[in-house]
Amino acid sequence: MTREQSVDVLVLGSGIAGLSYALKAAAYGSVAIVTKKERAASSTNYAQGGIAAVIAPDDDTALHVRDTLVAGAGLCHTTAVLELVQEGPARVMDLIEWGVRFSRDAGDFSLGREGGHSTRRILHAGDFTGKEIERALLQAVAEHPRIELYEDTVAIDLLVGTVGGDTNDASRCGGALVLDHHAGELVAFRASVTLIATGGIGQAFRHTTNPDIATGDGIAMAYRAGASIANLEFVQFHPTALYPAEQRAFLISEAVRGEGAVLRTLDGALLPIDHPLGSLAPRDIVARHIDRYMKDSGSPHALLDLSPIPTAEIESRFPGILAECLARGIDIRKEPIPVVPAAHYACGGVLTDAEGRTTIGGLYAAGEVACTGVHGANRLASNSLLEAVVYSHRASEQVPSELGIRCHDARVRPGGDSVAAVAPAGMTVTEVRAGIRDRMWESAGIVRRSSEMRDAAIELGELRSMSEAIRAANPLDPEAVE
């Protein structure tokens, strides 16, 4: 039996987008945050580099806009980029007011530089920026009387109905069906407004820098509910994950190259990168050059040489990377880091307008799960955290107009073109997921070919039907529904 619970605002996800939105939405009503795992298990928490914003006196909006448009390969929505850059500094100030402690140098912000940026504009907290942001936001959420955070709860599907109850009325989201791991029961969270902030799709690939929870379920829920999805073909592969890349690869921040590190081949030569910025070119360009080098030479990885960076600076600026590499037997102060590309960020997702609205009434999206048009075909480094706070803020400003609107018949809507479920033929959830990740890595990775993608589509269709059969047979199994 499904338990019912009502709230004014429902937030799915506890990264920077969901938490910052919740803190602002709580000014207008009660807020429930549903998060899959432990509250700090999000891509935000793993963000090393920082957040880009025009703060320095020698920087300006036009430069940041230009850098973003160039990185996006001409496919960014210019208006969205302008909104992002112009409103970014104010949203950074919000983070500081919530208690985020960015690194400073003699009182001023210590600004880093990353690939694709024409100047230093990356605010950071050492190389633990995401962890520091999560810390501050979670503390602010815990202290807010109108916010309840539900850990180890999985949103399974959106509840969609109509305002008037007439089937001819426009669709509206009325909350979500959630699995409570602890109680082992389903909960129908009914809300006037719902925000999806569930992060990306990195776990769809064999090698990724994303946490285990980045399984794309927010996009899938929105798709099944009938929301428009856009630009999912634009997946960014971070060029420098520590080799060997495990299921969740350890990221070597782009800020390392921003401080002077360069990419080399295994014989010590500079890795040839056909771009004026060389090793500091936008991520998609660098990732493709490393991929080409590996395939042409048969090398398992490239090398990231930190010798141009003074030892003291490595120790003070990148303590997390230094410690992780030392734990794996690599002293980055004396030897290069073996690196390979890994799936990192989804530039597409649930289509939204400038205020975070999706194509379903009452349903909003922010953060990596959303497609605002800001990133185009390739995200500029450190624009992700910025996009999350800018567009979650814009979405929060719409809450007053949504409160009090309720669906009379909100329920789970079957996906429009859902394939028929078939017997799983003895396959487990783990085996199905492994099959998806392997096929996506091989056929929909950094470099793609039409023939391989057509073959992959057939195999992925079969894996999808197996997954749906397992899910239908095990509705209360967390592994099956995530």
pLDDT along the chain (482 residues), means of 10: 91 96 98 81 68 96 97 96 98 97 92 93 92 95 97 93 73 94 88 97 91 92 96 94 81 92 96 92 92 94 97 94 94 97 96 98 98 96 96 98 84 54 61 90 91 92 83 66 60
Six token digits for residue 332? 């980055």
Mention every residue, 6+ apart, whose C-beta is less than 8 A from residue 374: 68, 72, 76, 77, 80, 81, 84, 383, 387
Give the span between the Cα atoms of 154 and 34, in whole angstroms: 7
**224 flagged as catalytic:** no
Q: Whole-angstrom Cα distance, residue 132 to residue 354?
A: 28
Distance of alpha carbon 236 from alpha carbon 343, whole angstroms: 6
Interatomic CA distance for residues 132 and 99, integer angstroms: 9
Backbone angles phi, psi at 147, to 5 degrees: -115, 130
Check: CB of residue 400 under 8 Å from CB of residue 28. Answer: yes
Tokens of 273: 């990168």
* Maximal C-alpha separation, the chain: 69
Residue 421 is predicted with a pLDDT of 41
Joined together, the tokens standing for residue 340 give 């390979």
Give dist(CA 268, CA 335) in Å, integer. 11
Dist. CA 406–CA 165, nearest whole Å? 10
β-pair partners for 9 = 31, 193
| pLDDT confidence of residue 375 | 97
CA distance 313 to 130: 20
Catalytic entry in 283, 317, 379, 437: 283
With b meaning 16 or more CB within 10 Å and e meaning fewer, what string describes 60-87?
eeebbbebbbbbbeeebbeebbbbbbeb
Compute the distance between CA of residue 27 and CA of residue 31 in angstroms, rounded to an integer: 10
Q: What is the pLDDT of residue 357?
A: 98
Residue-level length of the chain: 482
Give the up-direction half-sphere exposure of residue 31: CA atoms within 13 A in the CB hemisphere. 27
∠ Cα 134 137 142 (to 5°):
115
Buried b / exposed e along 287-325 (16+ C-beta atoms within 10 A): bbbbbebbeeeebebbbbbbbebeeeebeebbeebbebb
